[in-house]
Chain A
Amino acid sequence: MSRPRSINRLYAAKQKLCSIKSQASLAIAIIALAACSHVDPHAANIRGVAYVRVDDIIKHHPLYPQLDQLNNAIAAINLEASLPHAPLSPAEISRQTQALNAQLKASADRANATLGAKQQEYAQQEHDADVAALKAAGIDPAAAGLGAQMSATSQQQAQAAAQAAQSGYAQYQASVINQDNAAASAVAQQLGKEADEKFRARADQYQQEETDLSLRLAQADAAQRLALNTKLTNLAMDTDSRKSVSDQLNALDKKESDQEAALHAQHVRDLAAYRAQLGQQTTGAISKQVGQIRTETNAKLTARQAEVGAQIRSLGAAPVASQSLPPDIKKKLLDIHQQFVTKFQADAQNVMAGYQQTKDDLDRQFAALHGQNVGAVGAAAKQLADLQKRHDDLQAQMLSQIQRDAVRIAKEMGFTVVFDNVQAAAGGYDLTNDVLHDIESQHE
């Protein structure tokens, strides 16, 4: 009987424990629920203020792996571009400089051609619009001197195109002079370096010859020297004999050192002469190559100046605008004109921006050619720009989603203001996890 009673007691105790456990679980669950989902935004330690750690959300965003991949691709290009370029010979520098200058000239030509075409296109469109406006007002375009109007418009656009051409020429001139100065300096540096290397090689060769001679002499005299040294170890040797042996040893040393000194002196003379010869050769080569560069520079600038001059001359002179039109028609024509001038200016700006972008890249390629570390250039730079754009677009998309969600959650929870990028928080509510969970749930 005692056994069943004890079992009952145990059962009752277990039931009680379960009841306490379930009450405790309930309490914990309620507290947890209160802490997680019910925040009083108006509590004294919050007062309507919240903050989000946007950088942390981005790192845990479901799209972050894609962003990270783009980051790695960008980093890989930058990493490879950070390696110093192998030094080029003056001939290679010169060849690549010519190629870059040709690209720069082609880019400038394209820009100018586009500007010229745009100018003509807009002049024609404006003329058509003017004709239509005059006809609509019952005025004969020819009688109203529309040709003059059109020409005046064309003249203004021509002036803008001429300004752009002049500005393009000034940029081209500065760029070519800078590049050719740098090329001349790089050629001088490279030739100087080559001369130094040749001199160092000759000096090393002489040094080796002197070492070899020293070794040869020591080996040749080794047997005699050993014999003399062995004699000196004989304690019974008299003073005169000892002196004679010592003198022979000294004579041996002197013979060796004299031969070595003679060879060294000969080498010093040879090296001095070689340095002078290298100096003359280098100076000659530098002035020849720099002279060639300068001639090319002048030729390029003269040719370009002639092109720009011809281009500007082809734009024509300004005729006088008609004064006989009624004021409202004049205003209408002026509006049309303003509209096309604005369009042309916008297009011209785009064309010049495109040219500038190409020029910047070519300048960087040029700097890279002369050993400067300028990062990725050419095709790699293009790939880098493309990756950077994709990266920025994706990041903007993620930020926009975070912003949207944070605003919605803040409204739902009743906050008055939400900050980003706080240094430290002693109050307010951290909305980061709420936003993150929300974003994660949308991507599940």
Chain B
Amino acid sequence: MRKRLISTVLATAILAVAFAPAAIAADLTDIGFLDQAQIGSMPVFAAANQQLQQYQAQLNDQFKAAMRGARSDADKQRITAQFQQEFTDKQNELIGPLFQRAQAIIGNVAAAKKLSVVVDKRIIVYGGVDITNDVIAAMRSPQAVSAPPPPPTSSPIGFVDESALDSAQKVKDATDALQKFETDQQPVYAQRAKDAKSDIEKQQIAADFQKAVQAKRDSLLTPLVDQTRSVTASVARGKGLFLVIDRADIVYGGTDITQDVQTALNK
């Protein structure tokens, strides 16, 4: 009887532990999102982009003519840099003011809605606060836009600049080695595909090629990616962040941990 009582108490305790919440905490409700593609297709952006494309087409013709007159590799490099700069200047001239206006509007809308972070719509599967329509309405309004308050200094959502992490030498080396493997192997498999008797055989050869590239990727890049993810998670934990996303998906706010991740990876 006593044993049964102990068992019952034990089971109840286990149940209580198992089902009890870890702690009471408020849900995160300050996460917003913006459909950047929709903003980009607004007539004002579309017109600026069209102008930029026209300029680029003109510039391309001039670039080709200038390259034909190049006498050395140094000449070619100089010409390339010069034309790239001209394009960037034009881009800044045409898109820059629109982009700044949009950024200020996003900042104001986010502050008004008390959002700590705004991300791109493409990474939101469910929930979050959609500010797209508010931003579009403000963009259409002829009124001047006031400077937004600075974004909150702390946010539960962190971000890393993936392109910066990818520029690490060992990642570059691995990427180059993978690229070389793919370039070397492609003609071999291509010739086999050409000599194949049936479509099924060709598809099998293509699958083998993809498998070979994937195996190489797994041996060269996957360990680096895994290490980066593990280090990123560890840094995020240390900073009390929940999730870390790519910088490209951050529209407003968020906590940048790129530097910390780079430092931890170099240790």
Known contacts A76-B206, A79-B206: A418-B7 contact under CB 8 Å: no
Residue of B nearest to A75 (CB): B206
A263 proximal to B (CB < 8 A): no
- Choose among A48, A51, A418 the residue that contacts B27 (Cβ–Cβ < 8 A): A48
B144 proximal to A (CB < 8 A): no
Mask, A40-58, CB within 8 Å of B = 1, is: 1111110111011010000
- Choose among A78, A82, A418, A421 the residue that contacts B246 (Cβ–Cβ < 8 A): A421
Residue of A nearest to B229 (CB): A424
| Complex contact A80–B236 (CB within 8 A) | no
**Bound complex: CA A407 to CA B123 (Å):** 13
Contacts of A204 in B (CB 8 A): none
- Chain A interface: which of B45-53, B90-98, B103-111, B191-199? B191-199
- Choose among B18, B194, B243, B249 the residue that contacts A31 (Cβ–Cβ < 8 A): B18
**Bound complex: CA A423 to CA B158 (Å):** 10
Residues of chain B having any CB pair with chain A under 8 Å: 7, 10-11, 14-15, 18-19, 21-29, 31, 119, 122-128, 156, 159-160, 162, 186-187, 189-191, 193-194, 199, 202-207, 209-210, 229-230, 232-234, 236-237, 241-246, 249
Residue of B nearest to A70 (CB): B203
Contacts of A31 in B (CB 8 A): 14, 18
- Chain B interface: which of A242-250, A327-335, A409-417? A409-417
Residue of B nearest to A402 (CB): B125
**Bound complex: CA A80 to CA B128 (Å):** 46
**Bound complex: CA A23 to CA B6 (Å):** 11
Known contacts A30-B15, A76-B203, A417-B128: A48-B29 contact under CB 8 Å: yes
Contacts of A11 in B (CB 8 A): none
Contacts of A76 in B (CB 8 A): 193, 199, 202-203, 205-206
Smallest CB separation, A75 vs chain B (Å): 4
A150 proximal to B (CB < 8 A): no
| Complex contact A424–B125 (CB within 8 A) | no
Q: A38-B18, A410-B125, A422-B245 are in contact. List 20 more A-B contacts (CB 8 A).
A: A23-B11, A30-B14, A41-B27, A42-B21, A43-B21, A43-B23, A51-B243, A54-B125, A75-B203, A76-B205, A76-B206, A79-B193, A80-B193, A83-B191, A415-B127, A418-B125, A418-B126, A419-B124, A423-B159, A425-B243
Smallest CB separation, A13 vs chain B (Å): 15
| Complex contact B242–A49 (CB within 8 A) | yes
Sort A-B residue pairs by CB-CB distance and give the 7 closest, nearest first: A48-B27, A34-B18, A417-B127, A44-B23, A427-B242, A75-B206, A424-B232
| Complex contact B27–A47 (CB within 8 A) | yes
Contacts of B26 in A (CB 8 A): 47
Smallest CB separation, B227 vs chain A (Å): 11
| Complex contact B242–A79 (CB within 8 A) | no
Mask, A5-43, CB within 8 Å of B = 1, is: 000000000000000000100110011011100101111
